[in-house]
Structure 1
Amino acid sequence: MSSGWVKLHRKILDHEIWNDLTTFRLFTLLLLKANHQEKKKINGMELKQGQYVRSYSKLSEDLAYKEGRGMKSPSKSTIMRSAKKLESIGIVTISETVNGTMFTIVNYQLYQDFDGNREAFRETLAKPFVNRSQNEVETKSEQYQELKNLGIKEEERQPSSEYNLTPFQKIEDKYLSRKGGMFTTPYDVAAINRILDQQIPIEDVLTWIDEIFDRYVPKHRADGIKSFTYCEQGILDRWHAKQNPPPKTNVSEFRPRGSKQEESFAALEAYAKENGISMG
């Protein structure tokens, strides 16, 4: 694992962990150390792609940094908080094993295991994984066979120009920019595809995503919109309302008339004015 390279998406520059030094370094370390093979056995335990086993104490040593003339290591509790943060925002999953803590990079195979730009075929590639466990990893041949079974043409998997994004990519970019995320989950992808199936104008969808985020009131500092399915419901509600406006009625606005006493006084005042009579 000391040779080779990994992909790191530019969207990480806009992600909240970019400004969190320990969390960013932890994520980068996990990404670099994660098993990149289809399967690998370590100490009798089988690791799938994107998985790495390490104790928090060892991670503290791994993340030591130079300060002055010596080295300083972040505390174990600090590492644990950063790991929980990565888990809470959906970047990794964490489980305990007899050999240490298992860290699994979510969707590792989708953005590390192919040549070219993952974004070009994220929409079609991720869709078959919706009903599977996030930790389930398949071989390259199985993944490519799924693309073939879906009838994906080679030209459909070519990268889109930054200025010629597909409707899926426009929705995804808008959602991630508002959520502050780097990656969509298979459940997000499924929800976006369901919105696209409704043939809602893309301009409306993008406007409503902004509106949903602007109107969301978090219950506490850790609360937020975690999934596109939340946006999906709001978009569908707004689309239904737009397609079914309230019916217009022919009933004019009711304007109550004055009392008989007021009408009589007005008539008397008009008569007096016409005949030059002073009303005192």
Structure 2
Amino acid sequence: MSTGWIKLHRKIFDHEIWNDVTTFRLFTLLLLKASHQDGIKINGIELKKGQYIRSYSKLCEDLGYKERRALKKVSKSTILRSIKKLVENGMVTVCETDIGTLFTIVKYESYQGLDGQNNSNYRTANEPSTERLQNDYGTIAEPKQELKNSRIKEFKEEEEERSPVENHLTPSQQIEDKYLSRRGGGLMISPNDASAIDRIIQEQIPLEDIMVWIDEIFDQYRPRHRADGIKSFSYLEKGILDRWHAKNNQPSNISEFKPKKQQDNLSALEAYAKEKGIKFGGGLA
């Protein structure tokens, strides 16, 4: 949507997200797309003022950028980190739904209130309401099941979409991103999860093995019901340690060489002398 306007305070220059291009663009996008009134319904979910629903894969497309002549998408892990930063700074709250993530701009009314003016001026007055909804909410026409399936697919595509900036992440950050993307819910890990990740790193297990085994554990997990899932990194910690132990203690195909017990030289001479009728020590027997 290219009509209407929002208010953006100049104090944004002093905020840490000003120097974080993706996070700043994401926050601006959420401000521009957020509902300007209560009561708008998207697939049974009623939005309040300052709320917006969008899937992570759509946000990757929304924040795409041109590099020379190529159009590049922002990776999902980058989106997740930016959302986490906005949540930690108290700028937005998030809630996962069946049709995407529900974003709520904190203090939206305080920032975007029009000082008594009619909010109908906030957007183009003659823009049809139906068209406005279609423009604002790209997920509205997507079937629920298709969205659920796409959420699973997008997490598996994350590794292929990594941006060059992500190469500078610490091992713990990379493990955290991998875990959050495969878990498929929430933007932050618990203190217990962080401790489990630190313990894994202290084992000096190669990062490549850890990342592969995280995928392997999630892929092999069989939920008992729709609410079942891997909710703690401690579960992954045990699986990773089991695989690390097995890798370093593989049975050898080469049997241990055990030399035959050799007879004492003196005993061998004595036996030979007895056999030949020779008195041991000289003379005939």
Please tell me the TM-score bracket, short chain as reference: 0.3 to 0.5
Q: Normalising by structure 2, report the TM-score.
A: 0.40
